[in-house]
């Protein structure tokens, strides 16, 4: 079971819808997460909130497309053999996503899907700091996006 709390910190827009978020997150769930109850937040924000969070948590004083905040299970619960189904939070800047889609000549829906897939993989521990990890994550993203009917999100624009 998948529960997504879609939060709009800006005026709600046409995209992403609750159904789209659920579809894209479900496609990105890997291993045990794909078969368990999963809860998470997808928060859509403006540039100012994205910039403040990016600065506070990553030391980068600019807005960014997606920030992932994985949930850390309290040690006491794990010791008791219990685990909360909460995966974490995604914070996505609508303006940055729209600007990137335009700059990269990609359909907006495809770029939204990619940002949610990308962020959901981060919540599950995937990363792209080391080259080997980056290749693994990018290939997984390509496979997921293809399964969702989208083009390779890392294909270079030939225009």
**Domain architecture of the chain: domains with CATH:** 2-147 (3.40.390.30)
pLDDT value of residue 83: 67
Per-residue pLDDT at 38? 92
Is 114 annotated in a binding site? The answer is no
Q: Which residues make beta-bridge pairs with 3? A: 39
Q: Which residue is listed with tokens 């599950």?
A: 124
Query: Which residues touch 30 (CB under 8 Å, ≥6 apart)?
Result: 121, 124, 126, 140
What's the pLDDT at 158? 43
Block means of pLDDT (10 residues each) for the chain, 159 residues, are 95 93 96 82 98 97 98 73 82 98 96 98 93 94 98 75
pLDDT of residue 1: 87
Quote the CA–CA distance of 100 and 50 in Å, as a whole number.
15
Q: Which residues pair with 67 in a beta bridge?
A: 91
**Does the annotation list 122 as a binding residue?**
yes
What's the pLDDT at 159? 37
Residue 58 burial (10 A CB sphere; 0-12, 13-18, 19+): exposed
């Amino acid at each position: 079971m998948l529960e997504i709390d879609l939060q709009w910190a800006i005026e709600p827009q046409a995209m992403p819808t609750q159904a789209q978020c659920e579809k894209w997150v479900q496609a990105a769930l890997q291993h045990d997460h794909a078969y368990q109850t999963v809860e998470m937040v997808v928060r859509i924000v403006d540039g100012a909130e994205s910039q403040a969070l990016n600065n506070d948590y990553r030391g980068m004083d600019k807005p960014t497309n997606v920030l992932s905040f994985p949930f850390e299970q309290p040690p006491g619960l794990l010791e008791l053999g219990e685990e909360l189904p909460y995966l974490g939070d995604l914070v996505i800047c609508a303006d940055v996503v729209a600007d990137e889609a335009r700059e990269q000549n990609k359909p907006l829906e495809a770029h939204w899907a990619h940002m949610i897939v990308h962020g959901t993989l981060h919540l599950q521990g995937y990363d792209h700091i080391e080259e080997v990890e980056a290749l693994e994550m990018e290939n997984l993203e390509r496979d997921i996006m293809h399964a969702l009917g989208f083009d390779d999100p890392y294909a270079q624009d030939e225009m």
